[in-house]
Amino acid sequence: MKSLEARLDHEVILYLSKVEDMPEVKALLRGNISKEDYVRFLKIFYIIEDISQRAVKLASEKTKEANPYLSERFDVCARGELGHAEIALEDLDELGIDPVDVADCPAAVEYDRLLQECAVDFPLGVLGHSYLFENASGTMFPKHCPLEFPSKFVEVHAKEDPGHSIAIKRTIRHIEKDISSEDQVRMIDFANNSGEYLIKVFQSLS
C-alpha cells in the first residue's frame, strides 16, 4: 500500500486540477483578475484562515494528552493561520472593503460547524484538511503573476507555503505508523470533503 503521504499528495493533485481549472483562479494566477472576483478571493482567504485556525487550535487542545507531538504541531499551525487571516483583512481594507463576518455567509457557517465538530470528534481529519490546503497553496500561489491590487496575502503564501508543505509532510511521516488504516481513509475523505466545501463557500460569495 502507498504511504499516507503519497495518498494525500494524490488528492492534492486531483484537487488542484479542479481548482486551477476555475476561470477565476486562472485569472488570479495570470494577474488579470477583476476587482470583483479578487475581493471574493480575499474574502474566501480570510474565511478559510479564520475557520481553520480555530479548528486547528481546538484539535491541539483535544490531542494535548494523547499525542503531545501532534498537539504542538497543531498549535504552531494555528498561530500561523491567525496571522494569515489578518493579512487578508489588510488587503481588503486597502481596497476599501469592510471586514468579513463569517456569520453573514450561511455556507461559511456550515463549513465552520463541519471543521469544529471534526476537531472535537476526529482531530486527524483536521490534519488531513490542513495537508490538502497547505500543499495546494504551496503549489498554486508561487505560480501567480503580479497583481494590480493589494496582494500581500498572495505574496506571503507564495513565499511561505512551500515551507509549510514540507513541515506538514514531516508531521505525517512522523505519526503515520500510529494511524490505523481506517483512520487514514477517514483523513483522506475529510480532506476531500473540506476541499469541496471551500469551493461551495467561494461560489456562494457575492
Q: Which domains does the chain have, with CATH numbers?
A: 4-204 (1.20.910.10)
pLDDT of residue 82: 63
Per-residue model confidence (pLDDT) at position 80: 66
Query: What is the per-residue pLDDT for 55?
Result: 95
Cα–Cα distance, 117 to 128 (Å, whole number): 14
pTM of the model: 0.95
Strands (E), 69-165: none
pLDDT on residue 54? 92
**Element housing 64 (H / E):** none
Strand, helix or coil at 91? helix
Using alpha carbons only, give the angle 46, 160, 200 rounded to the nearest 5 degrees.
35
Mean pLDDT by 10 residues, the chain (206 residues): 94 97 97 96 93 93 95 84 83 93 93 97 97 95 95 92 90 96 98 96 89
Q: What is the structure's pLDDT at 164?
A: 85
Q: Assign 3-state DSSP to the chain and report helix, strand, coil percentages, each to 5.
A: 85, 0, 15
Rg (alpha carbons) of the chain, rounded to whole number: 16
Q: Which of 91, 19, 178 is nearest to 28 (CA)?
A: 19
Which residue from 136, 125, 119, 135 is spatially nearest to 194, judged by alpha carbons? 125
Cell numbers at residue 17, please?
Answer: 486540477
